[in-house]
Structure 1
Amino acid sequence: MGTKYDTEKFKRKALQVPAAQELILNQVTSGEIETIVSVDSHERIIAEAITAPHPYPAFRRSGMDGYAIVAIDTLNTDDGIVWLKVIDEVPCGTVSSKIISSGTAARIMTGAQVPEGADAVVMLEATEQRNENGVSWVGIKVPARSGQNITPVGFEITEGDTLLRSGHKIGPGELSVLATFGVHQIQVYRKPVVGIFSTGSELLDITDPLEPGKIRNSNTYMLASQIREAGGEPVVMEAIPDDIELARSKVEEALQRYDLVVTTGGVSVGDYDIMGDLVRCGSMDMLFNKVAMRPGSVTTAAVKDRRLLFALSGNPGACYVGFLLFVRPAIRKILGIDKDQLLLPRWTAELGRAYTKVNNFTRFVRGTLKVTDGKVVAYPAQLDESSVMVTIKDSSCLIIIPPELKGAAEGTKVDVILLPGALA
């Protein structure tokens, strides 16, 4: 005997991918903010603008090992060496108490503060040294110009300049900037915690021996890796057998506990596809339950109390693509990432070989990118069925094949979506 949801299973309205993405992102706001120490902020998203508390460099800095001098003293070096009295030595980290005046010089190291009065540094290789009665002299062999080999105050950054914008991801360069300016605590967006579970009585744990008719639960661990890459914190829960009441309680509990919930499996139109029934049962607001795409047309999204539920296909290829197109942008928006960086970047490429499948929906075909004769070329995977898992690891892009192409010949210009790490 059928359920009251049976008829609705077959009347799904397919949204185009951009419309489905917009529905999701309209439900998402930037997340909570926390303060952490800068040294622990690698790959976090900053939640405040950081401005320079002082110029950098904060003092006139020598760009060479050599001698700090008054440049005008060297005007007559064309006639021979000009000898200057050495009155001080300035290692890095020290400040000279001497003022360099005409006829004098100071030995100085790269990066040290240039003494007052000096307006040039002559490199060591352009000098000679002598000592007379305990007095050191330096001979300047070539003319110097004012400002030579001296990095002025504020050459890189002036006081008040913006160092980092809110929404910026912190990497090695950003950490260097923070340390340079003594910013030892910063505000960052808290990583969203994402609950994951798979549905299906056919699923085995990763540690279980293989059994007839069953498969190991691989999608959960793939999703956990994708969530980490996107900037979230995954929480892996036990797989749920095909029991709608159990699924309901688990989903509702997860939506109360976590920022997002992602499930895989149970969203098509079979008798045991419980997530589709759960989303339609009225306990949450369904955003969509069909998208005009292959693979993953049955991808479903719903919201309850501002918490999003993503029900992805149980097929590995469709699950992988569904996460990239819908879940990843939501995580990135919670993290406060700039609007123009929420979606994965798109390039234009040529097809390296023909793609002959025809469908009424846009296809997102796994592929690899190569640069050949200065052109970006995309090669579709030989095995791209929704159920195929193995080509995920070899892919660097998703090739977009719209239905109007009726397949695509070799050499056709196509849009490609770069996968995370594609340029690494």
Structure 2
Amino acid sequence: MHHEGLTIDKFKRKAVLVSDAQNLIMPHMHLGDTEWIALAESGGRILAEDVIAPHPYPHFRRSSMDGYAILSNDTKGCSTDKPIYLEVVDEIPCGSLPSIKLVSGTVSRIMTGAKVPDEADAVIMFEMTEPNENRGRRYIQLKREIKPGQNITPVGQELAEGEIILNKGRKLGTGELSVLATFGIHKVPVIKKPRVAIISTGSELLGIDEPLQDGRIRNSNTFMLANQVREAGGEPHILKMISDDLTIAKQRVEEALTLYDVVITTGGVSVGDYDIMADLVTEKDVEKLFNKVTLRPGSVTTAAVKNGKLLFALSGNPGACFVGFELFARPAIGRMLGVTNPFLPEYRAELGTTYSKTNKFTRYVRGRQEIVDGRVLVYPAQLDESNVMITIKDSNVLIVIPPSNESIEAGEMVKVIKLPS
């Protein structure tokens, strides 16, 4: 199919390695602006700045158990044969302050987490004492020596004032929110979410609320990509579908590039998956990064930059679209958020079943990871063609199968990429 203004040159493609394609993208990803949001809303966001402890933690000496705050020197020489008696003169619940200054021979009843009196240098656990009363006064009997510092959590044991609590680039989860709350940090500096436009192209596409029609399919890629963008930390914006009018499609993509930080297109069989991109990259202000990658599925995944905005053209085939996003768009969004390592985790695992397809390019096979007798096994999906979408829901890894003319046998070690869900 030929469109005015397009030449056969645009279809010339030089395949690059996945790693090289990723490296071509990264320099164009600039860190987003900082915004301050409420701690309660910050889960899942990325810190824009180092967070410094405004005070030591703990900021007062506290008891690590229920017992009695004492002057350890009072217990010297104490034993089963030579018990001592100390008078209980105060009671300190958690959250309260000591009300009586301790002197030699006196102790304060104290609860776990309560402030230890300044004069005390140890806490004796409740179970190591015996209560006693004489003439309306309360005493405890003690039969062993106590060392200074025992059962007292010192000031700054966990963090000193001025120490880094959390480094910028860290994703905020349950533990991070807990420690920020502990230090009273109720407004958090985070990187603004990149705004990502998602545009599906193709006259064969139906809206998800439309009745089924013979020869047409529902637009599933849009919703798959939107959730992938959310998982990556971006803010997805689903734009109106485009049919097979190349002029309108080009105009829509160019408009999206002015309004959003990243634009992702998917599909467009009757136009040709990458006609929009091919036409755009002939313009002077567009830099083509790559238009073919040595991978299956999705070898003709394309990326370009216009006015500092990144455009990804992903296949309309669901499997290829899914893989293209995970390998290229996800790390790009992560870099814009300042994530320390924006790439999905990689490791080695044992192939659970023989993989018999031969490959000219490296194949990224959807698969399932299981732990069997302490071994990490991965099983390729039985249906893994680029146009197959059902197995996406059952996959938690991508199994990396290198180019080969022979089968890879069960039991061999392969590289695995852990999917986010």
Under a length normalisation based on structure 1, what TM-score does the superposition of the two structures give? Answer: 0.94
Deviation at 1:45, TM superposition (A): 0.6
8 Å Cα contact 1:243-1:274 kept in structure 2: no
Residue by residue over 1:173-232, the C-alpha shift from the partner in whole angstroms, topping out at 9 and shown as x without a partner, is 111111111222221100001010100001000111100000000000000000000000
Equivalent position SS for 2:382: coil
2:114 equivalent in structure 1: 112
Deviation at 1:271, TM superposition (A): 5.3
Letter in 2 for 1:378: V
1:254 equivalent in structure 2: 256
1:397 equivalent in structure 2: 397
Deviation at 1:81, TM superposition (A): 3.5
Counterparts of 1:83-98 in structure 2, within 5 Å, are 83-98=85-100
2:67 equivalent in structure 1: 66
Q: 1:174 aligns with which of 173, 176, 190?
A: 176
Counterparts of 1:294-305 in structure 2, within 5 Å, are 294-305=296-307
8 Å Cα contact 2:244-2:270 kept in structure 1: no
Structure 2 stretches of 5 or more lacking a match? none
Letter in 1 for 2:226: A
8 Å Cα contact 2:245-2:271 kept in structure 1: no
Equivalent position SS for 1:131: strand
Compare 30-39 and 124-133 and name the one that shifted more.
124-133
2:266 equivalent in structure 1: 264
Compare 401-410 and 272-281 and name the one that shifted more.
272-281
Q: Give the Cα–Cα distance (whole angstroms) in 2 for the partners of residues 123 and 20 of structure 1.
A: 63
Q: Give the Cα–Cα distance (whole angstroms) in 2 for the partners of residues 363 and 182 of structure 1.
A: 49
2:79 equivalent in structure 1: 77
Counterparts of 1:178-197 in structure 2, within 5 Å, are 178-197=180-199
Letter in 2 for 1:57: P
Counterparts of 1:346-385 in structure 2, within 5 Å, are 346-385=346-385
Counterparts of 1:204-283 in structure 2, within 5 Å, are 204-266=206-268, 274-282=275-283
Q: Give the Cα–Cα distance (whole angstroms) in 2 for the partners of residues 141 and 389 of structure 1.
A: 73
Residue by residue over 1:78-123, the C-alpha shift from the partner in whole angstroms, topping out at 9 and shown as x without a partner, is 2153210111111112221433232110000110010122111111
Deviation at 1:132, TM superposition (A): 2.4
Equivalent position SS for 1:420: coil
1:408 lines up with 2:408 in the alignment = yes
Equivalent position SS for 2:276: helix
8 Å Cα contact 1:10-1:269 kept in structure 2: no
Letter in 2 for 1:13: K
1:56 lines up with 2:61 in the alignment = no
Q: CA RMSD in A?
A: 1.8
Equivalent position SS for 2:347: strand
Letter in 1 for 2:267: G
8 Å Cα contact 2:246-2:271 kept in structure 1: no
Q: Give the Cα–Cα distance (whole angstroms) in 1 for the partners of residues 280 and 17 of structure 2.
A: 20
8 Å Cα contact 2:266-2:273 kept in structure 1: no
1:198 equivalent in structure 2: 200
1:12 equivalent in structure 2: 13
Task: Give the percent of matched residue pairs that are identical in Structure 1 and Structure 2.
Answer: 54
The list of structure 1 runs, each at least 4 consecutive aligned residues, that deviate by more than 4 angstroms after superposition, is 268-273
Residue by residue over 1:322-352, the C-alpha shift from the partner in whole angstroms, topping out at 9 and shown as x without a partner, is 00000000100110111xx111110101111
Equivalent position SS for 1:154: coil
Equivalent position SS for 1:330: helix
Q: Give the Cα–Cα distance (whole angstroms) in 2 for the partners of residues 60 and 2 of structure 1.
A: 78
Equivalent position SS for 1:79: coil
Q: Give the Cα–Cα distance (whole angstroms) in 1 for the partners of residues 239 and 266 of structure 2.
A: 12
Equivalent position SS for 1:398: strand
1:124 equivalent in structure 2: 126
2:332 equivalent in structure 1: 330
8 Å Cα contact 1:5-1:280 kept in structure 2: no
Equivalent position SS for 1:393: helix
Under a length normalisation based on structure 2, what TM-score does the superposition of the two structures give? Answer: 0.95
Structure 1 stretches of 5 or more lacking a match? none
Equivalent position SS for 1:113: coil
Q: Give the Cα–Cα distance (whole angstroms) in 1 for the partners of residues 78 and 101 of structure 2.
A: 22
Compare 134-143 and 64-73 and name the one that shifted more.
134-143
Deviation at 1:417, TM superposition (A): 0.5
Letter in 1 for 2:34: I
Q: Give the Cα–Cα distance (whole angstroms) in 2 for the partners of residues 2 and 240 of structure 1.
A: 18
Q: Relative to 1, partners in 2 of residues 1:46 and 1:405: Cα closer, same or farther, differing over 3 Å?
A: farther
Q: Give the Cα–Cα distance (whole angstroms) in 1 for the partners of residues 277 and 202 of structure 2.
A: 13
Q: Give the Cα–Cα distance (whole angstroms) in 1 for the partners of residues 418 and 270 of structure 2.
A: 31
Residue by residue over 1:269-289, the C-alpha shift from the partner in whole angstroms, topping out at 9 and shown as x without a partner, is 975753344334426222111
Deviation at 1:167, TM superposition (A): 0.6
How many equivalent pairs are there?
A: 418
Equivalent position SS for 2:320: helix
8 Å Cα contact 1:85-1:103 kept in structure 2: yes
Equivalent position SS for 2:28: coil
2:2 equivalent in structure 1: 2
Q: Give the Cα–Cα distance (whole angstroms) in 2 for the partners of residues 299 and 256 of structure 1.
A: 22
Residue by residue over 1:349-407, the C-alpha shift from the partner in whole angstroms, topping out at 9 and shown as x without a partner, is 11111111112110000111112232211111111110110111111111111104633
2:147 equivalent in structure 1: 145
8 Å Cα contact 2:81-2:143 kept in structure 1: no
Letter in 2 for 1:18: S
Q: Relative to 1, partners in 2 of residues 1:272 and 1:94: Cα closer, same or farther, differing over 3 Å?
A: closer
Deviation at 1:37, TM superposition (A): 2.1
8 Å Cα contact 1:65-1:123 kept in structure 2: yes
Residue by residue over 1:261-308, the C-alpha shift from the partner in whole angstroms, topping out at 9 and shown as x without a partner, is 111113x79757533443344262221111110000011111110001
